[in-house]
Structure 1
Amino acid sequence: MSDAARGATAARPTSVIFVTASRDWWGAEESVLTLACAARGRVRQTLLCRSEPLAARWVAEVGPSVVLARDNRRVQRAPRLQDMLWLLRNLRLLLSHDVVVLENFHLVIPGSLVKLAQRRGQRMVLDLHDKISTPRASRILRWFAPRMDAVISVSDYVAESLADLAVESATIYRPVRAPRQRTRRANAGRVVGIVGRVDPDKNHPLVIEAMSAAPRQLRLVIRGDRSDNRTPYRAEVQQLCARLLPDRHEIQGRVDPARAMEGLDILVVANAQEAMGRTVVEAQLAGVVAVVPDRGGAAELVEHLTTGVVYPAGDARGLAAALTWLSADAGLRAELTERAFRTASARHDPTAYARAYLSALTG
């Protein structure tokens, strides 16, 4: 890109296209929508996606500037090829915007197309909300990330995974819209929740084991659904709950995001490799105490005994002890939730986030 073209784009980008290959709705998709709502009127925004729920909400909350792209049935067994063909089919749309934001690191655009876009004065940005923990992901990023004009990471934990790749990254924590009212319960302290994908990396067995050693008045609620229907993990979680918590658990499946924290007193994160932990912020804004491991992105969102509770990652006994004394101390819970609400409201404010994000897009 020429210095003149780069300077013109950096000075005043007028259009951004967000590209996500996800076919489902998780925290990253919610963040894109929250950003777009907060950035309305500041820049022209378009969404290129595969998710019908995301497209419908974008139309309702942002506007009609969305393209819902279907998959090619003939290349279902070659997902990376399918991704590339998907991008090529929408090349004209991509080239019509000042900034292209890729929401998935595996959406590898051919180098020649990246150079073409940059010669035209466009900026290519990678929004990284996944922990890079596999050799394959590292190989993709080693080739792909240095060709981007900017990389934005969801946490310092994710940004650090790029250190070995010699890729610079700006950390911007994701925005979360505060609920209309915070949780208030008469029997506070008794309902412990796990919210999110029911996948092995979420480490539900650790929480179930900890709950089996906690006071019997504590009850576990699991909300979320599996992202891969081929895995038996959900059945394994059900069996473990039936064995260790026979009358003290409820697996509710997926719930409306607006109700994710409803009725919970304590939220537990067990994944020590969580990229950020959007549910932690949702809990803090809803008046639910967040309990997180001392490793991973979620640990960046909680200050121990100030805005939540931190326990040693992978330590079921330590988690059980934390749940025991936390559930018994109503005064501490009240202090934690109040301080957490103030901190999360400032750190994850969508309007402030939109300003920071749009600034990062220009470099």
Structure 2
Amino acid sequence: MLSWEYPPLLVGGLGRHVHALAGALAAAGHEVTVVTRQAPGAPRVEHLEGVRVIRAAEDPPAFEVTGGDLLGWALAFNHALTRAALRAVRGHRYDLVHAHDWLVAHTAVTLRDHLDVPLVATIHATESGRHQGWLPGAHNRTIDDIERWLCAEAHRVIVCSEYMRAEVIRLFGVPAERTEVVHNGVDALRWRARPRAVAAARERYAGDDGPLVSLAGRLVYEKGVQHLLAAAPRLRERFPGLRLVVAGDGPYRKDLERRAGPAVSFAGFLTGHDLTALMAASDCYVVPSIYEPFGMVALEAAAAGTPVAVSSTGGLAEIVEHGVTGVCFPPGDPDALALAVGGVLADRDYARALASRARQRVVDDFNWPAIAARTAAVYDSTRPPAPELPELLLTRRPGVPMAVGVG
């Protein structure tokens, strides 16, 4: 399994997905090796939760990433990742290679050819989708081409929602029979915060006389944080004392901070218990994305016991049922966002019912053992069919057992 991020090095949801999937596959009896990027202070090789983890140190010189252009860095990273992967496979037998997104595409194809095994690719998001179909720069178009190439080279393409399935078919011409929808999963127990931690988060972030609304994610345009900030004054008029916490970091942060009012706090990148506690302490958790292939963070908030309000786009529209497991609003509409969130904040019984049903759905439908089993089924589908046996020639002679001859 190849991934550009893996704990303790996390950038977004992809690293958490790969970590949980690898652990669940290992727990089910599969032998899993993850080859990923070196994290400061992490061992180069370790066995963690049943998974063999190989971390590739980045090659010098350092490539500065400007304007979102990752191509120079990605090329150097793939050289280092390929060498680490080729060393990792010595003395081991593997049945397939599983690549996560375009940033590992070159290593994945090289390893597939070296091992002569099938390649499975998970496309977590697309460059075209992230930019709402507009590919402004040469590097954006190149990333789009690499995604198309990876899909063409893969025996199976896994996506996280029916929305993403339609997207890769439309953008890259992937035959429908080579695409498989396997939802992301959530470890519901991991997102249950301790009461003391919840109380501390409430004391730190919430006001004395108003509700707490939160959001966490990478601070980029497509996450739609700007629309939540635009809705904040309307919510404050209706709920004096309301506080809004934005957790995360990214290239859009400075612009968002300039737009934010005094009731908005930027908490930076939170992980582990800190993020769980913030979610659980919130009266409503908002996912205002413009583009969202799945929306795993909405399920994580639901697992924490928090009512969620999400934009009805992409995978979010598939996993949150309006009025049953959360509330939905049109993407890019601050007025509708304020109305939806206000409905949750105004009726605590309604909010508790939404949260209870959402958490139960997480437990029932999005648990990692089930997700791992569905992924393993995709792996099995890459195996070539057993060769058809030629017609059997059966003969029997007196006193001689039946013999089977292959003609």
Bin for the TM-score computed over the shorter chain: 0.7 to 0.9
- Which among 43, 58, 61 is matched to residue 71 of structure 1? 58
**1:274–1:54: structure 2 CA closer, same or farther, 3 Å change rule?**
farther
The worse-fitting range, judged by mean Cα deviation, of 324-333 and 189-198 is 189-198
- Which among 11, 17, 23 is matched to residue 37 of structure 1? 23
- Which among 155, 169, 179 is matched to residue 179 of structure 2? 169
Q: Is the 8 A contact 2:47 2:53 kept in 1?
A: no
AA at the equivalent of 1:70: A
Residues 293-332 of structure 1 mapped to structure 2, 5 A cutoff: 293-332=311-350
Q: Is the 8 A contact 1:157 1:275 kept in 2?
A: yes
Residues 239-318 of structure 1 mapped to structure 2, 5 A cutoff: 239-241=258-260, 245-246=261-262, 248-260=263-275, 261-318=279-336
1:53 Cα offset (Å): 7.2
The alignment of Structure 1 onto Structure 2 pairs a total of residues equal to 335
Partner residue of 2:35?
48
The worse-fitting range, judged by mean Cα deviation, of 150-159 and 174-183 is 174-183
Q: 2:360 aligns to what SS in structure 1?
A: helix
Q: 1:273 aligns to what SS in structure 2?
A: coil
1:115 Cα offset (Å): 6.6
**1:61–1:288: structure 2 CA closer, same or farther, 3 Å change rule?**
farther
AA at the equivalent of 2:21: L
**1:37–1:24: structure 2 CA closer, same or farther, 3 Å change rule?**
closer
1:64 Cα offset (Å): 6.6
Partner residue of 1:9?
none
AA at the equivalent of 2:265: E
Q: Say yes or no: does 1:127 pair with 2:122.
A: yes
Q: Is the 8 A contact 1:132 1:138 kept in 2?
A: yes
Q: Say yes or no: does 1:28 pair with 2:14.
A: yes
Unaligned runs of 5+ in 2: 65-71, 129-134, 136-140, 203-207, 382-407
Q: Distance in 1 between matches of 2:340 and 2:353?
A: 16
Partner residue of 1:339?
357
Q: Say yes or no: does 1:105 pair with 2:91.
A: no
Unaligned runs of 5+ in 1: 1-17
Q: Distance in 1 between matches of 2:271 and 2:109?
A: 42
1:108 Cα offset (Å): 2.8
**1:111–1:300: structure 2 CA closer, same or farther, 3 Å change rule?**
closer
Partner residue of 1:4?
none
Q: Is the 8 A contact 1:80 1:106 kept in 2?
A: yes
Partner residue of 1:352?
370
1:59 Cα offset (Å): 4.7
Q: Distance in 1 between matches of 2:159 and 2:380?
A: 15
Q: Distance in 2 between matches of 1:259 and 1:75?
A: 31
Q: Say yes or no: does 1:153 pair with 2:159.
A: yes
Q: What TM-score results when the alignment is normalised by the length of structure 2?
A: 0.74
Partner residue of 2:132?
none
* Higher RCO by CA contacts (8 Å cutoff, separation 6 or greater): 1
1:277 Cα offset (Å): 1.2
1:37 Cα offset (Å): 2.1
Partner residue of 2:248?
224
Please list the CA deviations of residues 14-61 of structure 1 after superposition, one character each: whole Å capped at 9, or x if unmatched. xxxx11123644211111111222222411111111142796699574
1:110 Cα offset (Å): 7.7
Q: Say yes or no: does 1:206 pair with 2:227.
A: yes
AA at the equivalent of 1:224: G
The worse-fitting range, judged by mean Cα deviation, of 256-265 and 272-281 is 256-265
Q: Distance in 2 between matches of 1:296 and 1:54?
A: 37
Rg larger in structure: 2
Q: Distance in 2 between matches of 1:305 and 1:267?
A: 15
1:337 Cα offset (Å): 0.8
